[in-house]
Amino acid sequence: MSVYDEIGGAPAVKAAVTVFYDRVTADPALEKWFQNVDLTRLKAHQRAFLAAAMGGPELFSGRGLDAAHAGLEITPEAFDAVVEHLAVSLHDLGVEDDVIARVRVRVEGLRGEIVSAVTV
């Protein structure tokens, strides 16, 4: 069974994305990356991306992660904060800890395509 199915499929992904973006956009350390962004569009892309990343239907047809995040200068710390917000959002929706751990591993594997800023 895929992670997508384990968390409850499309309804769970939709709920997770809603809770996730509520958290991320309220985080002062992350707000600069979400100013002037069409959140409705971004949430739709995120739902499709997460579904595919979790072994669900391959509905994502957007740009690759590296192209979508090019020029944003996302720091390792910002990436870590986003991953934590995702994990907490899933936890708050009742997703089992072992499933959240597998989601973290999948998302961590994308770090190189998203993080472009180096901090010291």
CA separation for the pair 94, 7 (Å, rounded): 9
Q: Where are the domains of the chain?
A: 3-114
CB atoms within 10 A of CB 45: 16
Enter the CATH code of domain 3-114. 1.10.490.10
Q: In sequence order, what DSSP letters do the residues of 74-105 get, joined into one string?
A: --HHHHHHHHHHHHHHHHHTT--HHHHHHHHH
pLDDT in tens, 109-119: 889 888 987 66
| Residues 50-79: b if buried by 16+ CB within 10 A, e if exposed | bbebbebeeebeeeeeeeebeeeebbeebb
pLDDT in tens, 83-109: 999 999 999 988 889 989 988 988 898
**pTM score, two decimals?**
0.86
